[in-house]
Amino acid sequence: MASVGIKDVAARAGVSVATVSRVLNAHASVSPAARARVLDAVAELGYRPNTLARSLRTDQTRTLGLVISDVLNPYFTELARSVEEEARALGYSIIFGNADERPEVQDHHIRTLLDRRIDGLLVSPADGGSALVLDAARAGTPMVFVDRWIPGADVPVVRADGRGAVRDLVAHLYALGHRRLAIIAGPAATTTGSERVEAFRDALAEYGLDLPAAYVGQGDFQAASGRRATERFLDLPTPPDVVFAADNLMALGALDAVRARGLRVPHDIALAAFDDIPWFVHTDPPITAIAQPTGELGRAAVRALADRIEGRTPQSVTLPARLVVRRSCGEAAPPEAPTEAPTEETPAGRSTP
């Protein structure tokens, strides 16, 4: 158990620990002979440097923190995966924190990450302006926001712009004859919670359509809230023709609610979702969704953070989302390719009504 240390290696190789350290860090000049002996000793002893000690000394951990809002949401899972891959490619490790959409849990993770002296932080804030996040940014912690962001912080943002796709969605719905469109929003404190509603409202306005308060359900990006909001819609004297869920989990909840009432999509009510997932191809019916370039976002975010850490100038990045039309809004969509490649859809034509 008394794990082998640099001293053991030095002793075995007949050199000083300084020399061992030098060969391990590809540091300048070491005689070929010494290098060889050290390498042999390392191999024979199975020596692995203690990263704790190294980090304490060098003040860098080669570790990035990623705090996501909800691991159980496939969107964030995919984001996390791409972040980890790109980080690994750049020589960093990732430590994840799952906020579960709860600001206190988020802050717990951020504090833990900071205590671990991570080199930088990737955050998709669960709330509108955690003091902790703001303080950390102000204190100089390299940081990048992904997907969601906090206004007023001087932090690069990597995200998707869904406005175009939302407009395409509304055009699609309008063309299918839908006029009463409702949305289940995420928490107003999150950017994606409010932006998606705004984009939706603006697109409706282009068609002379209104978004009454009763047609804005308040959700929290979790399935249960989507179910509740949908039940409320269905209880309205004049229920909407369409429910647009601002994320895939709330769409799941909406589906639960519709099913519980014995109603059918799209016959009784149409459904669309922000964020696309492989299962949407196989749901009954297949669900029309707005797809984000999730993998790209994750990679871009890591690159921006690495830029910031390594002294380059980090860039904010905004990538377009796109509409993927399926059958949940009433139209028979063409057959679709399997899982890995959802069909790129030409959005329904847009023209003022």
Partner DNA sequence: CTGAAAGCGCTTACAG
Q: Which residues bind a copy of itself (CB under 8 A)?
A: 1, 48-53, 55-56, 61, 71-72, 74, 77-78, 80-81, 84, 88, 93, 95-96, 98, 100, 108, 111-112, 114-117, 139-140, 223-224, 227, 252-253, 255-257, 259-260, 278-279, 281-285, 335, 338-340
- Judged by beta carbon distances under 5 to 8 A according to partner kind, the member of DNA, a copy of itself, none in contact with residue 111 is a copy of itself
What is the residue whose two structure tokens read 């024979």? Answer: 44
**Residue 108 interacting partner from a copy of itself, DNA, none (CB closer than 5 to 8 Å by kind):** a copy of itself
Instruction: Write the DSSP symbol of residue 314.
Output: P
Decide if 159 contacts 149 (C-beta within 8 A). yes
Q: Which amino acid is located at 330 in the chain?
A: G
User: 130 pairs with which residues across the strands?
Assistant: none
d(CA 127, CA 328): 31
* Neighbour tally for 83: CB within 10 Å: 27
With binding defined as CB under 7 A, does residue 183 bind DNA? Answer: no
Take residue 13 and report the two structure tokens written for it.
């190789």
Q: Tokens 């191999």, residue?
A: 43
16: partner contacted, choices DNA, a copy of itself, none (Cβ within 5-8 A by kind): DNA
Contact 125, 149 (CB under 8 A): yes
Query: Residue 311 interacts with DNA (CB under 7 A)?
Result: no
Q: With binding defined as CB under 7 A, does residue 3 bind DNA?
A: yes
Among residues 12, 22, 227, 299, the one that binds DNA under rule CB under 7 A:
22
- Spatial contact of 326 and 288, defined as CB atoms under 8 Å apart: yes
Count of residues near DNA by CB under 7 A = 31
**Among positions 11, 54, 333, 336, the unique one binding DNA when judged by CB under 7 A:** 54
Cα–Cα distance measured from residue 297 to residue 274, given in angstroms and rounded to the nearest whole number: 16
- For DNA, the binding residues (CB under 7 A) are 3, 5-7, 15-22, 24-25, 27-31, 33-35, 47, 49-50, 53-54, 56-59
